[in-house]
Structure 1
Amino acid sequence: MPWTFTPTQIFPGMRTVFLQFWPQIRKEKALILVSILGLVVEVFARLLGPWPLKLIFDYVLLPDAHTAELDLPFLRDASPTLLVLLLSLSIVATAALSSVSAYISIVSMSIAASRIITEIRSQLYAHLQRLSLAFHYQAKSGDLLTRITSDIDRLRDVTVNHALPLIINLLTLVSMVAVMFWMDWELALIALAVFPIFLLSTLKITKRIRQVAKRQRRRESAMAATAAESMGAIKVVQALSLENLLEQVFAHDNRKSLEESARTQQFSAGLKRTAEILVAIATALVLWRGVYLVQRGSATPGDLLVFITYLKTAFKPTRELAKQMAKITRGIVSAERVIDLLKVEPAVQDAKDAIIAPPFRGAISFRNVSFAYQIDQPILKDLNFKVQPGQRIALVGPSGGGKSTLVSLLLRLYDPQLGQILIDGQDLRDYQLESLRNQISIVLQDSILFGTSIRDNIAYGALGATDAEVRKAAQLANAHDFIMDLPNGYDTMMSERGVTLSGGQRQRVAIARAAIRKAPIVILDEPTVGLDNKSEQAVSEALNRLAQNSTTILITHDLSASRNFDQILYIESGQALEQGTHSELMQKGQHYAALYQLQSAVDTDHFSQSIEL
């Protein structure tokens, strides 16, 4: 039966969205109740709207038209002039009541919705921050940005500008239909005869709108992803002359999104036209039967006027219902996209019984560690080695051998599929993530700086650090002098990725950020690659000071940088093929020795060529 339709049938997914965000909604129940109260008063005012006109018709224009059931002596005995004045004032009062209550309802709901949406966005951002690297490497940043910005904004817009008006219109419709049945059940049935047809049309078209809205959101996410990738790699794009190719990809998604938007408008327009025709049919039927009842004396002209007004008022919103339902459907699709992200579980997270890591001594042990990003492509295979507190170990070997992956496992950016990684004899998975990572400093090959001041970039290494600690860390990193030469010193703002500084300067700021942490374990991942001799010397000096009294792991392809390390681990194809000091490995004459001799020969050849030039 058409009368059994529920909101969740018209808007599939609405129940899921409501339950997901109920904790945020519940916090704003006071404002929502105020909004609902204003809504009820507004609907009541709408119900009263046509009655002053009915009384003017029945007691002033046609004084003999009122029925015995509604014969009100105080109206019958009042002078026509006074009666018209009072009823006219009541029209103004009813309109004012409706306007004030609508204002209170909309403002209360707007504030509540803004607070709810703000909390949801914060929750989503916090959740994204904690999702594992495996997720972020697979996801497109443009799509994630679309979900956390435009999808969330659409929820707010839909709630205030479309969902609330829809609720008001539906309550008005139900209330007026009830009054119409109270006045004359026969005319009420005639008026509602076309309503099942409208419901069926609404269900059918809303389903199509939902399908198109999903495709459109995917297109918009694809456009955002393309834009984010091209802007993030603009140097490569321009160097390879990829502008036209990427423009074509973006234009294709843009065109498809426009087509899907046009289809949504087409569906909405079709539903609107259907509603107008059905309302016209209902009005004609009511007029046809209503005039007959007035002529027979079963109803007054005022009754017929109220019926027609209710019919127009109650069904007028159906003309806008298509647009509102299309917007709400899109909002539900956006909410589902947000929920899909919130349901993603981090691959790496704290165990229920995880403890806060005590101050580390720095002993590291890999026991039979195996790891693969994809099951059939192992990166590390049964890896075993130990590092004593305060030792310096260099990881060397061909690219793709698993050196950086090893470091990612130590930071618990990933967990090994097999084996254990221990610090001070305790499995990493027994520690709370934040307390583990707070005791490890890392300097990468291309250290990223944030778009804030240099002072803040350094202090990010130890939140709450004082200005004196920031300066001391910068001095250790050979960064203080060039920072003081900048226009605003430590208050100089960085552009995105810190590109306002040279490569060597960025590395020294990154080293200062690592130094202020005063961590017992230091990881250096190719920290001097791509630097000129002068910058490399300044960075190397800073790194030596950073690594003092800490367990240090250096990833490098420059074997000369590892000669004085306590241990050298030669890793190839995910296995530790050799381990020992430089002299021990040279004496073995195997993989490390062969690679070292090859590098020495290449360096000698480059030196000879520079002399000839």
Structure 2
Amino acid sequence: MGREPERVRHMAGNPKKIVETLPRFFGIIRQMWPYLKNYKGTLSLSFLALFAEIGFRLLEPWALAIVIDHVIVEGSGAERDILPVIGRFDLTTMQLLYFAAGFLIVTISLRAFSAYLSTVGFAIVGNRVLTEIRGKLYDHLQKLSLRYHGKVRSGDLTVRVVGDIGKLQEISTTAVMPFVANIFVLIGMMGVMFWLNWQLALIAVVTLPLFALLSTRLSRRISSVSRDQRKREGAMAATASESIGAIKVVQALGLEGVFSKSFSGQNAKSMKEGVRAKRLAARLERSADVLIAISTALVLFFGARLVLSGGLSPGELIVFMTYLKNAFKPVRDFAKYTGRLARATASGERVMDVLEQEPDVKDLPGAGPAPPFKGRVAFEGVGFGYEPGRRVIEDMTFEVEPGRSVALVGPSGNGKSTLVNLLLRLYDVEEGHVKIDGRDVRDYTLASLRSQVSVVMQGSLLFAASVRENIVYGANREVSDGEVVEAAKLANAHEFIEAMPEGYDTVLSERGSSLSGGQQQRIAVARAAIRKAPLLVLDEPTTGLDEENERQVADALERLAEGRTTFMITHDLDLAARADEIMYVENGRIAERGSHEDLVRAGGRYATLLKVQEVYREMEEDRGVRANP
């Protein structure tokens, strides 16, 4: 099981109060500012439209006040103070009624248009910014070192790239902007309410402290549950990704029930957490309704007494009650926004956690592009371990001349693959130096270093693309169709590619599963060949192949290695014997080194391993003869 980064585990295990959710959320917004500032113009126009919408919303109730106070109550034409912000006009009753109706239509239309502009503007900015962040997140993930990827499950990272960014895009439109708009509405309407009658305004807000106390208690639990649910969804995605990605092994070993049980358990827990969050949100929302009802009843009671005493007109009371209703809308929606903001905060923190990760391996200050390599490789006193205090390689020192091929053999887990990982700078050495043509590999940029190394690994990954595209993926330049065919011929792949339904344009299934293992490896060899790199790394390139495919791949590899400095990791000593030199690696050190003939004559570890393989092969042949007399 992979491990969540420490920061995520800490946050999930120590839920904080909802009063901290908004600061954390807007902290995420601040981290996004470098992206947001590219859209300052659109953001400014969107906020202008938002403030215009709020202004028209504040004006809207006054049409009703005009009709009640000056049409229904007074009922005759006179010079009237029809709206405090407009002044006194001498209008008849019907003119006043027409004015009120037209005023209502204009304000609502302008409010709707302003709301449309602000919603569209914020949506455009939000989606563009989050699309940029998703692209950067994906790019950043590919640059993070293998050490990081070894700690976090790939399915959970997929959820962060796709699901968490998608959640932010959704919530930025359905929760963040409505919440911000309602905050401004609340401020504006409370201001007007205090301007109209400060005593009634104080009565209106008397229940707010009680609501704040209740929301603090419930919202903390909503935030915690939402964060746990998001984490659970990441675990489900990781389980699904692992089982589907290895479906052949799962079915072969009959593990369908095991993975289904694991997924179902996580799914059930996620469902319970979702229901719990909804229940808490509903409880908070209904509590808000009760408190708002109390405030409304108090305002209605004392407001009516003011009207009867002449301290307030009926229309002003209606305006006040309308403002009160709109002012409390953010309070009523607070529970809904709380859950959404909690999920957005959890998603944003998961995204930012990845973006804040610094690659262990990166271009160092002063690193420059690598010149064309000649291929001289040297390890000088190299020490390295994947875990602190546990060295995999210790004081490794050797040199390989340009164009020479070296086979790395020996027991598994003793440092063979680690050597080539250090050469490629998939990890950096802890001690010593890895040099190419006399310069430390850390003096070069990663891109220029790796572009001059071709790699063929065991079970090389092919992509769901055409054969041609899979071969061209290995190139670091533009290539012609002729070069693709030439590379395929070198890899002994041209004939079976031509026999495919659409030849080089045949689209392969995911991971190349529509091809045999030998065919996959030969396309991988073609991919390495088209790179035309001076260094070549072969990591168990023939493991798992039958005799015919092994011979075809081995012949292709021999042609591919011509003129290139080659490191080949293999347990097949027949294949190792083709190399110019063999290194027997044991316990992180070179135990023996020499040509095949030299090591056989020395009678050491290599010779012993060779004899064991020969005995084993003879036993297998004898078993085959007896089974097929």
Instruction: Give the TM-score range, shorter chain.
Output: over 0.9
1:331 to 344, 365, 370: 344
Aligned residue in 1 for 2:387: 374
Aligned residue in 2 for 1:588: 602
* Larger displacement relative to structure 2 (296-305 or 205-214): 205-214
Alpha-carbon distance in structure 2 between the residues aligned to 1:148 and 1:87: 52
Alpha-carbon distance in structure 2 between the residues aligned to 1:227 and 1:477: 35
* Larger displacement relative to structure 2 (497-506 or 561-570): 561-570
- Asked if the contact 1:8–1:14 (Cα under 8 Å) also holds between the matched residues in 2, the reply is no
CA pair 294-76 structure 1, distance change in 2 beyond 3 A: farther
Aligned residue in 1 for 2:577: 563
- Asked if the contact 1:370–1:380 (Cα under 8 Å) also holds between the matched residues in 2, the reply is yes
Which residue type is aligned with residue 152 of structure 1?
I
- Asked if the contact 2:46–2:122 (Cα under 8 Å) also holds between the matched residues in 1, the reply is yes
Aligned residue in 1 for 2:499: 485
**Residue deviations 1:2-34 (CA, integer Å, cap 9, x gap):** xxxx99745241242022111011111211112
Q: How many residues align?
A: 608
2:540 to 491, 515, 526: 526
Which residue type is aligned with residue 102 of structure 1?
A
1:502 and 2:513 aligned: no
- How far residue 423 of structure 1 moved from its aligned partner, in angstroms, is 0.9
Alpha-carbon distance in structure 1 between the residues aligned to 2:516 and 2:330: 62
- How far residue 478 of structure 1 moved from its aligned partner, in angstroms, is 1.4
2:455 to 423, 442, 453: 442
| Secondary structure in structure 2 of the residue aligned to 1:138 | coil
CA pair 90-606 structure 1, distance change in 2 beyond 3 A: same
Root mean square deviation of aligned Cα:
2.1
Alpha-carbon distance in structure 1 between the residues aligned to 2:194 and 2:612: 96
| Secondary structure in structure 2 of the residue aligned to 1:28 | helix
**Residue deviations 1:235-259 (CA, integer Å, cap 9, x gap):** 2222222222222211221111111
- Asked if the contact 2:18–2:216 (Cα under 8 Å) also holds between the matched residues in 1, the reply is no
1:206 to 219, 236, 255: 219
* Larger displacement relative to structure 2 (557-566 or 431-440): 557-566
**Which segments of 5 or more consecutive residues in structure 2 lack a partner in the other structure?**
1-16
Alpha-carbon distance in structure 2 between the residues aligned to 1:66 and 1:276: 42
Aligned residue in 2 for 1:514: 528
**Residue deviations 1:299-353 (CA, integer Å, cap 9, x gap):** 1111111111111122134222210121012101110111111111111111111
Which residue type is aligned with residue 578 of structure 1?
E
| Secondary structure in structure 2 of the residue aligned to 1:377 | coil
1:129 to 136, 139, 142: 142
Alpha-carbon distance in structure 2 between the residues aligned to 1:452 and 1:385: 40
Alpha-carbon distance in structure 2 between the residues aligned to 1:566 and 1:291: 102
**Which segments of 5 or more consecutive residues in structure 1 lack a partner in the other structure?**
1-5
| Secondary structure in structure 1 of the residue aligned to 2:392 | strand
* Larger displacement relative to structure 2 (399-408 or 143-152): 399-408
- How far residue 267 of structure 1 moved from its aligned partner, in angstroms, is 1.9
CA pair 372-76 structure 1, distance change in 2 beyond 3 A: closer
- How far residue 593 of structure 1 moved from its aligned partner, in angstroms, is 1.1
CA pair 597-273 structure 1, distance change in 2 beyond 3 A: same
**Residue deviations 1:345-390 (CA, integer Å, cap 9, x gap):** 1111111111211111111111121221122432112112111111
- Asked if the contact 2:77–2:93 (Cα under 8 Å) also holds between the matched residues in 1, the reply is no
- How far residue 468 of structure 1 moved from its aligned partner, in angstroms, is 2.1
* Larger displacement relative to structure 2 (253-262 or 372-381): 372-381
TM-score with structure 1 setting the length? 0.95
- How far residue 65 of structure 1 moved from its aligned partner, in angstroms, is 11
- Asked if the contact 1:58–1:300 (Cα under 8 Å) also holds between the matched residues in 2, the reply is yes
* Larger displacement relative to structure 2 (458-467 or 54-63): 458-467
**Residue deviations 1:187-234 (CA, integer Å, cap 9, x gap):** 111112222222333333222221111111111111111111111111
Alpha-carbon distance in structure 2 between the residues aligned to 1:178 and 1:518: 73
Aligned residue in 2 for 1:57: 68
| Secondary structure in structure 2 of the residue aligned to 1:373 | coil
- How far residue 540 of structure 1 moved from its aligned partner, in angstroms, is 1.7
Aligned residue in 1 for 2:8: none
- Asked if the contact 2:81–2:87 (Cα under 8 Å) also holds between the matched residues in 1, the reply is no
Alpha-carbon distance in structure 2 between the residues aligned to 1:296 and 1:430: 87
2:356 to 340, 343, 359: 343
- Asked if the contact 1:395–1:569 (Cα under 8 Å) also holds between the matched residues in 2, the reply is yes
CA pair 503-598 structure 1, distance change in 2 beyond 3 A: same
TM-score with structure 2 setting the length? 0.93
Alpha-carbon distance in structure 1 between the residues aligned to 2:248 and 2:205: 65
**Residue deviations 1:23-71 (CA, integer Å, cap 9, x gap):** 0111112111121111111111111111011111111111189999947
Which residue type is aligned with residue 460 of structure 1?
Y
| % identity of equivalent residues | 46
Written as runs of structure 1 = structure 2, the 5 A alignment for 1:12-411 is: 12-63=23-74, 70=81, 77-411=90-424
CA pair 610-262 structure 1, distance change in 2 beyond 3 A: closer
- Asked if the contact 1:473–1:515 (Cα under 8 Å) also holds between the matched residues in 2, the reply is yes
**Residue deviations 1:99-124 (CA, integer Å, cap 9, x gap):** 11111111111111110000110110
